Structure 1
Amino acid sequence: MAEEALLPAALEVDGADRVPQSHLDLLAKKGFYGFAAPDDLTALDFPSYAAACRAVESLAGGCLATTLVWVQHHGAVSALAKTGNRELRDARLKPLAEGRLRSGVAVTAAVRPGIPMLRAEPVDGGWIFDGAAPWVSGWGMVDTLYIAARDADDVLVMALLDAEEGESVSAGPPARLVAAQASRTVTVRFSRHFVPRERVVQTVPLEAHSKGDPESVRFNGNLALGVAGRAIALMGDDSGALSAQLATARRTLLGAAAEDVPAARAAVSQFAVRAAAALAVHVGGRALLTDAHAQRLTREATFLLAFGSRPAIRTALLKGLGAQERSAGGAGTA
């Protein structure tokens, strides 16, 4: 699918304002919206976690924007599969697993260090969400939003909301991104938005939620491996040692202990930049043209240096690149 459907359209999608509906429909038809669903609700049968990761890598190597929108979906599916809210599970899990309903995700605003950007306040019958959720991808292409807000006791309230604007919900314009512009990534603002108890998937202490973060970080590293792999494939026999280095990076990320995942994730992100740069040099002057895959992959590799990052990943990346954290009085913004 990546080779026959996604890659041939990748440059066109790179310049578009949204991922083609046909791409997402194809993923649904092939069963990929059930990627994280329980066995009885998915047609996919990966022999191992490593094989599942390779599938994500392959899709990202075909079209990063499409994969970015699709991959956001699985947080909702995984959470609903485990929720104690049986009514919500029964109503939404199967349509989500089949791709008849499609979900985005907005968790970062609640789990970021310090004061949460999106706050939860208990009220009769549910919760009030107030604040902003940045980096919501797929707006206008998803039906629901798996979202987290944080209360005064550092408990996350995870809910499944309709992905639509209203009196208390508004979405800004799509961010102007260096890559994956077609993902339609926006900031969604909540103005004392009432979330009924029936739409809450779970409540979980922030500390407990954070213990599962290494697996999310590991999983997202497959996007960088996909970009690196595509750059290497486009070099063909001239890729030299890069193919072996890709295999090593893949094994390291997959096998890293939880405490080593940030460093492994940083390494694959840095490797993607190096592989894309090698392709640009290999192609030569054509890499400067906007209809060349080399410039697209270079921008996508840059995008993935910061996408889904964490402080430990940032520190490892800066160290690997020969730099260091900005001092308190240092210049520059990002």
Structure 2
Amino acid sequence: MSIDPEARRAQLVESAYRIADDVLFPAAAEVDRTGSIPDSHWTAIADAGLFGIAAPVESGGPGLELYQVLEIQEVMASGCLPTVFTWLQHHGVVISLAGTPNALLRDELLAPTMTGELRAGVAYAGAVPTPPRMRATRVDGGWRLNGYAPFVSGWGVIDLLQISARDVDSDDVIAAILPVDQPSPEIAMTPLHLGVADATRTVALAVDDLVVPDDRIVSRVGHADFFATQNIGLRINGTLPLGLVRRCTAILDEIGHSTAARGLRERGSAVRVRLDAAITDHDALIDARAAGAQLAVDAAAALIAADGGRGLLRGAHPERLAREAMFTLVAASRPQLKDLLVERFSARPDAHTP
């Protein structure tokens, strides 16, 4: 018996709250300590249908509104940041496959990525800067990729990688989806050991004359169109600091600091409104994204101050959340965002109030 579409969407949102609070958060300290995300996390997320939340109805997806997708992602981020940061990358690949003109690639990979049978990650960063770090050159039957992707999360966790590069001739952005289960002599992988969220299994990739056939190309878009879509990614990444604020305020409530928790929640609501209002305004979105990251740092600092010395013990929730708040300052960032955060943190205390 098929479930009513509206009930299905409500069920997905409810599942996110349950998994964040009952599955992810209780294990977050252990994930941080071991640097490893348990398979049971991925099973719970897959069983709840949360790998396919970004897929449109016409592709078999739930047809969630953007605000529902963002709510799910924000709530999940309050559970375990390394798990959710790795999982967030997956949705970009689902969206690419759902919209690709490459029907054979879509038919092969979309369904198993929507169910979580295949987990996916992305390497966009090589195509973002100018000049780009990752370049694509047209060859017979495909493209030759050369360059560097400085931060790629999920290595050893993901099955597929969507890698983007800029065409040396047209500056179009070429995106390919590759399996990562077999070593390739054209790809050199260097593990990066992070002081926080090390369980994201982040690596740097150097690509040397990797030839990708046309049947692995998921998209080719103009340079301007590629950057126009980056606003959605910025908004999605804004769910990470707001998720941390949710968790910090919940703990503040538990330890008797409800007034502080209420004030931080009000600031979080204001940031959320700014993020949503700025979805088509890149500069305003960057400003709101900076406000969110600054708020996460403030919330974690308030929690440590409230909890006292025990909050500094390695593995304590306040200590871990403080490090994770720092992660949101730089993860999935852009030079403009970094500059704005430097300005905010070095300004007079009354100069900026997110």
Structure 1 CA distance, aligned partners of 2:238 and 2:202? 19
**Would the aligned equivalents of 1:37 and 1:81 in 2 still touch at CA under 8 Å?**
yes
Residue 160 of structure 1 pairs with residue 182 of structure 2: no
Structure 1, 268-277 or 244-253: larger mean CA deviation: 244-253
Secondary structure of the 2:295 match is helix
**Would the aligned equivalents of 2:175 and 2:218 in 1 still touch at CA under 8 Å?**
yes
User: Could you report, residue by residue, the CA deviation over 1:13-52 in whole angstroms, capped at 9, with x for unpaired residues?
Assistant: 0122321111012111110110111225556464x42232
Structure 2 CA distance, aligned partners of 1:103 and 1:263? 29
Structure 1 counterpart of 2:316, one-letter code: A
When normalised by structure 1's length, the TM-score is 0.92
**Would the aligned equivalents of 1:157 and 1:204 in 2 still touch at CA under 8 Å?**
yes
Structure 2 CA distance, aligned partners of 1:110 and 1:74? 18
Structure 1 CA distance, aligned partners of 2:220 and 2:66? 27
Aligned residue in 2 for 1:285: 309
Unaligned 5+ residue runs, structure 1? 325-334
Structure 2 counterpart of 1:298, one-letter code: A
Structure 2 CA distance, aligned partners of 1:7 and 1:117? 36
**Would the aligned equivalents of 2:55 and 2:61 in 1 still touch at CA under 8 Å?**
no
Residue 202 of structure 1 pairs with residue 219 of structure 2: yes
User: Could you report, residue by residue, the CA deviation over 1:232-272 in whole angstroms, capped at 9, with x for unpaired residues?
Assistant: 11000514211222222222212225231000000001000
Structure 2 counterpart of 1:295, one-letter code: E
Structure 2 CA distance, aligned partners of 1:142 and 1:287? 33
Aligned residue in 1 for 2:257: 238
Aligned residue in 1 for 2:10: none
**Would the aligned equivalents of 1:32 and 1:44 in 2 still touch at CA under 8 Å?**
no
Secondary structure of the 1:72 match is helix
1:4-23 map, 5 Å: 4-23=22-41
RMSD: 1.6
Structure 2 CA distance, aligned partners of 1:200 and 1:244? 44
Residue 138 of structure 1 pairs with residue 154 of structure 2: yes
Residue 115 of structure 1 pairs with residue 131 of structure 2: yes
Structure 1, 35-44 or 256-265: larger mean CA deviation: 35-44
1:205-224 map, 5 Å: 205-224=222-241
Aligned residue in 2 for 1:56: 73
Aligned residue in 2 for 1:258: 281
Residue in structure 1 matching 2:345, options 298, 305, 321: 321
Structure 2 counterpart of 1:17, one-letter code: G
Structure 1 counterpart of 2:86, one-letter code: V
Q: Relative to 1, partners in 2 of residues 1:79 and 1:43: Cα closer, same or farther, differing over 3 Å?
A: closer
Q: Offset at 1:177?
A: 1.2
Q: Relative to 1, partners in 2 of residues 1:95 and 1:190: Cα closer, same or farther, differing over 3 Å?
A: same
Structure 2 counterpart of 1:33, one-letter code: F
**Would the aligned equivalents of 2:56 and 2:62 in 1 still touch at CA under 8 Å?**
no
Residue 249 of structure 1 pairs with residue 234 of structure 2: no
Q: Offset at 1:108?
A: 0.7
Structure 2 CA distance, aligned partners of 1:61 and 1:301? 11
User: Could you report, residue by residue, the CA deviation over 1:56-85 in whole angstroms, capped at 9, with x for unpaired residues?
Assistant: 111111000000111110111101111111
Aligned residue in 1 for 2:6: none
Q: Offset at 1:320?
A: 2.0
Aligned residue in 1 for 2:332: 308
**Would the aligned equivalents of 2:35 and 2:197 in 1 still touch at CA under 8 Å?**
no
When normalised by structure 2's length, the TM-score is 0.87
**Would the aligned equivalents of 1:111 and 1:206 in 2 still touch at CA under 8 Å?**
no
Q: Relative to 1, partners in 2 of residues 1:219 and 1:155: Cα closer, same or farther, differing over 3 Å?
A: same
Unaligned 5+ residue runs, structure 2? 1-18, 349-354
Aligned residue in 1 for 2:11: none
Q: Relative to 1, partners in 2 of residues 1:166 and 1:298: Cα closer, same or farther, differing over 3 Å?
A: same
User: Could you report, residue by residue, the CA deviation over 1:80-99 in whole angstroms, capped at 9, with x for unpaired residues?
Assistant: 11111111111111111111
Structure 1 CA distance, aligned partners of 2:37 and 2:59? 26
Residue 228 of structure 1 pairs with residue 228 of structure 2: no
Q: Offset at 1:117?
A: 1.5
Residue 68 of structure 1 pairs with residue 85 of structure 2: yes
User: Could you report, residue by residue, the CA deviation over 1:273-300 in whole angstroms, capped at 9, with x for unpaired residues?
Assistant: 0000000000000111012100101000
Structure 1 CA distance, aligned partners of 2:22 and 2:201? 24
**Aligned residues, how many?**
321
Secondary structure of the 2:163 match is strand
Residue 191 of structure 1 pairs with residue 191 of structure 2: no
